[in-house]
């Protein structure tokens, strides 16, 4: 029969997965909001963000209870410490998904089409978040490292978007205000990618005891 500590640790695991799924939903919805510019869909993103914040508080309380009252050691301690860090990154992902949805109303006013690279960047960041959560569920080091390495794709896309927007302004195909809105969206996506990398790194730490501290080098 599992101990009380083991039951609570499993509860932490299950709820982390749920939180990760909420983050995936928020990003996916924010991407659809950009494409459709539908205010009703934006409200769904904001609702998902509120649910993420609620779940974050519940999981932080559970982690602190486990640390203070159960006094875990070795692998269990690493797992709970990593979970606390992951929860923080997931909450930020929810915030930035909401920021993207909020920006969609400004994009609507500018009546411009998103550069195709923005859609590709969105797909990559959603995949990174999904895979970072999957790496946690499957305790998959290879998947952790794939997420970390995929951050280069997001950085490259961000740099390409900057060049495209600068060219469009120069050619008078886009005004500066619209370009700034699009650049902010790309920046939010880049940050989401960074948070996905952080999650993967903390999963790696929970498994190995080694944290690479955002070095993001190819391995």
Look at the chain and report how many structural domains it folds into: 1
In a domain, 177, yes or no: yes
pTM: 0.89
pLDDT at residue 156 is higher than 90: yes
In a domain, 216, yes or no: no
* Letter string b/e over residues 193-218, b meaning 16 or more CB atoms within 10 A of that residue's CB: bbbbbbbbbbbbbbbeeebbeeeeee
Domain that holds residue 46: 4-208
Q: How far is CA 184 from the centre of its chain?
A: 16
In a domain, 214, yes or no: no
CATH number of the domain encompassing residue 88:
1.20.58.220
pLDDT tens per residue across span 3-40: 888 888 889 989 998 998 999 899 989 988 888 888 89
pLDDT tens per residue across span 134-145: 898 888 999 999
In a domain, 131, yes or no: yes
pLDDT tens per residue across span 97-140: 999 999 887 775 555 666 788 888 988 998 999 899 889 888 89
**pLDDT above 70 coverage of the chain, percent:** 94
pLDDT at residue 214 is higher than 60: no
How sure is the predictor about 212, in pLDDT bands with cuts at 50, 70 and 90?
confident
In a domain, 204, yes or no: yes
In a domain, 167, yes or no: yes
Q: How far is CA 26 from the centre of its chain?
A: 9
pLDDT of residue 218: 42
List the structure tokens of 65: 């209870």
At residue 168, φ and ψ (nearest 5 deg) are: -65, -40
pLDDT tens per residue across span 43-99: 999 999 999 999 999 999 999 999 888 888 888 888 899 999 999 999 999 999 999
In a domain, 217, yes or no: no
């Amino acid at each position: 029969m599992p101990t009380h500590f083991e039951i609570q640790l499993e509860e932490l695991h299950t709820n982390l997965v749920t939180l990760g799924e909420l983050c995936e939903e928020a990003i996916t919805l924010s991407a659809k909001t950009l494409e459709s510019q539908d205010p009703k869909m934006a409200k769904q993103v904001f609702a998902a963000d509120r649910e993420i914040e609620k779940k974050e508080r519940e999981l932080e309380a559970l982690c602190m209870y486990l640390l203070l009252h159960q006094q875990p050691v070795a692998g269990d301690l690493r797992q709970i410490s990593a979970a606390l860090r992951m929860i923080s990154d997931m909450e930020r992902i929810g915030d930035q998904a909401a920021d993207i949805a909020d920006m969609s109303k400004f994009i609507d006013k500018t009546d411009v089409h998103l550069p195709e690279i923005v859609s590709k960047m969105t797909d990559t960041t959603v995949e990174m978040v999904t895979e970072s959560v999957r790496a946690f569920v499957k305790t998959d080091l290879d998947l952790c490292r794939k997420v970390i390495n995929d951050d280069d794709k997001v950085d490259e896309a961000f740099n390409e978007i900057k060049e495209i927007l600068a060219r469009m302004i120069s050619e008078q195909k886009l005004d500066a205000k619209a370009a700034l809105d699009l650049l902010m969206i790309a920046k939010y996506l880049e940050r989401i990618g960074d948070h996905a990398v952080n999650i993967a790194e903390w999963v790696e730490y929970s498994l190995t005891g080694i944290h690479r501290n955002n070095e993001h080098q190819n391995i």
